[in-house]
Structure 1
Amino acid sequence: MKRPGIQLRRMLLAAIIPLLAFVSLGAWAFSSPVGSSPDDDFHLAAVWCGLGERDGLCENPDDGSQDRLVPASLPTAPCYAFNPEQSGECWVPDESGLITVTRANIDGLYPPLFYATMSIFASEDIQASVMAMRLFNAALAVGLLTAVFFVLPRWTRPALIVSVAATSVPLGAFVLASTNPSAWAVLSAAVVWIALYGATQTAGRRRYALAGLALFGALLGAGARADAAVYACFAVVLALILGARLHRDALIPAVTGGIIVLVSAVFYLNAAQGGAVVTGMTEGNPPLTGGQLLSNLLEIPSLWIGAVGGWHLGWLDTRLPATVPILVMVVVAGALFVGIRRLDLRRLVALLLVLASLWVVPFVLLYQSRVVVGTIIQPRYLLPLLVIAIGVASLRRDAESSWNGGRLGLAAAALTVAFTVSLQFNIQRYTTGTDESSLDPGANAEWWWNGAPSPAFVWVLGSLAFAGMLALFALALPRPEREASTAWTAEPAPEGSDRAVAEPVAQPAEEGSDLARTVPLADDDLDPRPHGVADVVPQPASAAEPAGKDHPVA
């Protein structure tokens, strides 16, 4: 019989936590007007033309060019860009007619899948369309992460949670609930490596499910950005380093990895954006001097800090207070230090590779583009690698016990404060501009969504949802003191699983001994303890050799 505590934890994980996560991302979807994510003048036009020519949405001027006609108010949406004192009031959403745009991804600069999917929601009502796209991406992120969480072996789940939570504030949340292709790039990075690794650690239906989720995540990333296609291939390498075995059970993960590489290569080679690795992202700049190269090498960590709030949001014009990056960076650094406490060779090699990539990738792009840190290369390009780095570092079999208690409480408090502050600043930047400041981001608002709840309500609800999500994660963790007084036995495996399910039941100690005998557990997938820790199950002493203080037990 299952204990009520276990049933409660499963209910929280299965329903309430994903709902709170969606509400948190939904608050970010409402926090800024149409066109607020970087380069949205291009991305929105590409979305409206993502399914080809459609009357009133994307029309061909028939002049032999790659220009397109889109709703007149679409390219003017970011009228406030680079002017933080300008609120979102400057945009006129109901402007009639069509206007010519010269950039709509007709030349295949980006992979087409993201734009084609978002284009399903495109209509003549631009505000409603953009909000639908943002909420869809928020739901997609929550849904995919939830699915991967429940299929993963239990001991690997903290790596997924820590990697996403620690890097979600503020840039991760802003991007995931946006119309920017980076939303899928970040989501793909969080999913592919750990789902494929999980496939190497499981059997039966669970292995196939994880392989399928890894492939789906790679498809999202490679179909959104060329660099995300490279990251998907890198995730395959990391997963195989961490979990590959010379056994027939490794066939499914290996084949899945090969398919991911193939699919990613197709998207990468068909996107003009992929040439940036060789030619750079700009042309015509003079070569960098030795001093500039050295400066780039030393300044690259500022891009990492930028990914956790050190750089401005949106069009790099929404400043956040220093409290945000400091608090989030403490959590990121803490996750790394907690994770590297016990490194085996495989995890050491994988972690060194991903940490090196965080330095090498931006340095090469800066070198090829002939620019210095602070221009062209943005922190969101590196956010997927940062997510992977935290995840690999957190892949410990005793991760649950490592985060139980004060560490989790401090990390959750730091992230909650950072989330609350950054959401308030982001809303206020667009409701009034930065020339006004108040606790209520809706006070004297010049702009807000038609028919939406007030800015203050969105801010408070989103912040409480985020805090509640982290609090329920803490509540859902097993209690160490309770587990210390219980034993673990194996139940019959559920249908479709090749493994037994561990269920804690109290067991008395053996007569004449302070300890009970130990036997191995049939399923360590759901066991939060480190691999190799035996499960306490009493065994009767031999009749010929009664147990006692002179006859120690195992």
Structure 2
Amino acid sequence: MTGIPNPPRADGTERTRYGAKHWALALVAFFLVIFAWSMAAPYDGTPDEREHIVRAAGVAEGQIAPPPAAAKKGTGAFQTVPGGLVRDQCWQFKPEVSAACAQPPGSDDTPTRTGTGAGRYFPAYYALVGGPLALWPGWPGVLLARGISALLGAALLAGAYVALRNRTRTGLLVGALVAAATPMAMHMASAVNPNGLEIAAGVAFFSAIIPLLLGRHGGSIRGLLLLAGLSGLLLAVLRQTGPLLVGTAFLAFAFPLRHSNLRALIRRPAVLAWAGGIILATLAALAWGVRQQTNYLGDYSRDSLTKGQALLIESDRWRGYLDQIVGVTSWLDTRMPYPPYLIWHLVAGALLVIGVLWGRVLDRVRLLVLLAGAVLIPSALQVAKVNETGFITQGRYMLPLMTGVLLYAAWVAEQRGIAPAQARSYTRLAVLALLPIQLFCLAFTMVRWQNGLPKNIGLSSLNPLKGDWHPVVGSATPLLAATLGLALFGWLAWTAARDTDAPADDTSAAAPTAYADRNGSGEPLGTPRLQPQPAAGGLRSTWTGDRAGERSG
């Protein structure tokens, strides 16, 4: 294939290609933000972290596939790990109680047999982070393990940033990344927990798979393939929901064939190699699930409900899921004041509305497929299993696919001709409105850990530098790291919004070039065509992206 590797400017000039330098800058930015949460949190400060720490230390000690046992709530397995990691907590689910009452991890390396609810999980993630926990079971090992997990997540998010910036015409895709990387995503990525890496892998996967399957391929796609392949492999094995995530993305973007690049891509040996690896990883994860009985999540049920009752309760929980996607932190026991949730929902929701309004019928179908995979299927499974597991679904489990919804909505708006000035305004609004919320959520959660949250919170209570308990690195260090990381990420997003097709005072829609494939118009990928479309007051040329011959919608 021949052509220009990135979407050109409206005047036909080639855009700057962003590579290793910008990936390194984004890596530093995301790592500072994520590791700030790692440094700020007490031991077992995020949902189920102790369970995953025990599993990781066990895998590092060679206990790869322990026999399934009723170790926690009727599920899990037993692992033998250093005694310094076996700690019970006294403050979880008690937001008014600080972490000062808890016993921190210690250096005791006495082999101790303990149960963990994560004992049956696929070992890949735990092999990556478990070494420091087995070697140095006190705070050094815990922070190193968290740091490894944070670095892996930051590397994926940095890859997503470069992929999106290289393929955005207006900066809107980078604005979508700002909205998708929620405080909850940063919070979970900071912990020893595969869910955090899964969220980052979801962002990276959609950042690569959308342009791969729907974009114009004029030059090298090695970077996209690498990002899609690595993130797809991780999604397949990190958690039991991996096959659902990968399958939903493939269903949404690979079909119908005449509107995707699938037939052209499968002619490339590298594509087949990566796809084969993801399929094998998925099969391995499924086989592991059967062998280790990972489908049994434990007995959390307290009531016997009819399906109708469960459906109504589950639908009422959706609002809570939206808040959790933004950030209900600690052990889901720390809710922010309402304005941060409202602001984030409005900014992210506006992007979804833009995608729906600007999209055609096929675009809306693809958004619906992603939403079904993110929300409807988990809710249906929750209702079906409620009398066995109780209500255990959380918003963070939906985040990997919900990030795809936002990224695809931005992609649709760009492909359908949103004006650069409008897209630039959205991206800058996201930077100015959402990044301060990131810092506020960290500071507010630190107050919860260090002081506990009084029943009636006042401004005098919100001092993250004081408390009965302090992080081992001090309270100022996480705040400083997060501030520097957010400032750098904000600058990267702001400059992406600045690098648009039109001058700042141009509010008209751009007139870019459209591209078609052999299935759409009969022309090969990389062949430029203008497609005039009717608009108020005459004709205008819109960026129809990859499907110049598409007529749906």
Structure 1 length-normalised TM: 0.75
Is it true that 1:34 corresponds to 2:43 in the alignment? yes
Alpha-carbon distance in structure 1 between the residues aligned to 2:206 and 2:313: 29
| 205, 209, 217: which one aligns with 1:192 | 205
Give the drift of 1:390: 1.1
Per the alignment, in what secondary structure is the counterpart of residue 70 of structure 1? strand
Is it true that 1:215 corresponds to 2:229 in the alignment? yes
Contact 1:43 1:180 in 2 (8 A): yes
Per the alignment, in what secondary structure is the counterpart of residue 81 of structure 2? strand
CA distance change for structure 1 residues 47 and 294 in 2, over 3 Å: closer, same or farther?
Answer: closer
Contact 1:20 1:468 in 2 (8 A): yes
Alpha-carbon distance in structure 1 between the residues aligned to 2:189 and 2:427: 24
CA distance change for structure 1 residues 383 and 19 in 2, over 3 Å: closer, same or farther?
Answer: same
> Could you tell me which residue of structure 1 aligns to residue 445 of structure 2?
426
Q: Deviations over 1:117-176 (max 9, x none)?
A: 111332224311221222222222222233344356513895763444213232111011
Q: Deviations over 1:197-224 (max 9, x none)?
A: 3334354873344223212112212222
Aligned-residue identity in percent:
21
> Could you tell me which residue of structure 2 aligns to residue 289 of structure 1?
306
Contact 1:171 1:380 in 2 (8 A): yes
Give the drift of 1:331: 1.5
Q: Deviations over 1:514-550 (max 9, x none)?
A: xxxx9979xxxxxxx82479xxxxxxxxxxxxxxxxx
Give the drift of 1:400: 7.9
Alpha-carbon distance in structure 2 between the residues aligned to 1:360 and 1:32: 33
> Could you tell me which residue of structure 2 aligns to residue 346 of structure 1?
362
Give the drift of 1:488: 9.9
Letter in 1 for 2:206: W
Contact 1:160 1:190 in 2 (8 A): no
Letter in 2 for 1:42: E
The structure with more radius of gyration: 1
Structure 1 unmatched ranges of 5 or more = 1-5, 490-497, 501-517, 522-528, 534-554
Letter in 2 for 1:380: R
Give the drift of 1:195: 1.7
Letter in 2 for 1:413: L
Is it true that 1:299 corresponds to 2:308 in the alignment? no
> What does residue range 515-526 of structure 1 map to in structure 2 within 5 Å?
none
Alpha-carbon distance in structure 2 between the residues aligned to 1:34 and 1:157: 43
Give the drift of 1:302: 2.0
CA distance change for structure 1 residues 66 and 257 in 2, over 3 Å: closer, same or farther?
Answer: closer
Alpha-carbon distance in structure 2 between the residues aligned to 1:80 and 1:399: 49
> Could you tell me which residue of structure 2 aligns to residue 481 of structure 1?
503
Is it true that 1:69 corresponds to 2:87 in the alignment? no
Alpha-carbon distance in structure 1 between the residues aligned to 2:198 and 2:56: 16
CA distance change for structure 1 residues 430 and 148 in 2, over 3 Å: closer, same or farther?
Answer: closer
Contact 1:163 1:394 in 2 (8 A): yes
- Structure with bigger RCO (C-alpha 8 Å, 6+ apart): 2
Give the drift of 1:240: 1.0
Contact 2:52 2:193 in 1 (8 A): yes
Alpha-carbon distance in structure 2 between the residues aligned to 1:22 and 1:403: 30
CA distance change for structure 1 residues 426 and 49 in 2, over 3 Å: closer, same or farther?
Answer: same
Is it true that 1:180 corresponds to 2:189 in the alignment? no
Alpha-carbon distance in structure 2 between the residues aligned to 1:302 and 1:22: 30
Contact 1:13 1:473 in 2 (8 A): no
Q: Deviations over 1:391-415 (max 9, x none)?
A: 2212132468265443333322221
Structure 2 unmatched ranges of 5 or more = 1-14, 68-75, 514-523, 532-541, 547-553
Is it true that 1:260 corresponds to 2:283 in the alignment? no
> Could you tell me which residue of structure 2 aligns to residue 308 of structure 1?
325
Letter in 1 for 2:299: T
Give the drift of 1:383: 1.4
> Could you tell me which residue of structure 1 aligns to residue 178 of structure 2?
165
Alpha-carbon distance in structure 2 between the residues aligned to 1:158 and 1:238: 24
Per the alignment, in what secondary structure is the counterpart of residue 411 of structure 2? coil
Letter in 2 for 1:39: D
Q: Deviations over 1:46-66 (max 9, x none)?
A: 010123349xxx999xxxx96
